[in-house]
Structure 1
């Protein structure tokens, strides 16, 4: 008599790096919400969106980035005393839209690559650059209507890019460490005793 173990479900195309666990999305949300305590207007939504999009299924990644954005808005209007004006709410909406766009680009990059079995540094780098350009492009367009073009200096934009790139690199590195601690998956042919 041969016992066979049920085969695990195949990972989705948007989640090729690891099996889904609740720990990773929860950690991303926790770190993202924690960042809102230290950053006011420059929460690293690009770095978080890139990481979520590259490491989680699209629907989970969108929920993660949505939770981080919402926490940032709640903390901003309470702890950081954001002005409660239509212009301020519009900016919050634009930041959320940009974060969702970055997350979708990162998630789509995984699909274009046919799924990543492991995170590739060049892919993560170009997704971070493209995501940042989209995010800042939306902010630039919104600045034409809402004001704030004076914030588009090379020093400010460069600093924001560096912050987001470091967050993406750090979180993706943390994800790699998290994945290396998980037990290896045995190939299906080794399941039979």
Structure 2
């Protein structure tokens, strides 16, 4: 066992050693990663097909307390929601939408990077869930975790927003589950001496 954690704070968890990894990158395997525009139902179905439940989905989405997204990833929410010219996503907090329009002006640089968590982008914490409660989720797929009426993810977002320790605990469990999805066996791949590079 080895202990793994994240820079910027956050939980740690024990990772079993000996997992076999591929010797090469497989770009085609990234086709199952959600794009930021899919419905919550589609993402939940994808996660379920990999043995991950709604708590795992919300916890793993919480990694968006870190990172940035290009304007191109969410500009449709600011200028062309549901293909209606000039329409802003009505779920977006109005003040936040105005700020985003200033940071990502129509006709501007679509490669500009915006923090996924406007409050604490360099700290792994539960502020991401507070953002969702305040309708300040940058990506549509993030906001739908809280704004999809009747979704079981709403209660999970509320729980994580009120308890950082519950978020950390669920995130660590979900990371372990994710690490055990379709492991290579037999002579396929290799057990790496350094997880960042092939042997």
Name whichever structure is richer in strand by fraction: 2
TM-score by length of 2: 0.33
Name whichever structure is richer in helix by fraction: 1
TM-score by length of 1: 0.33
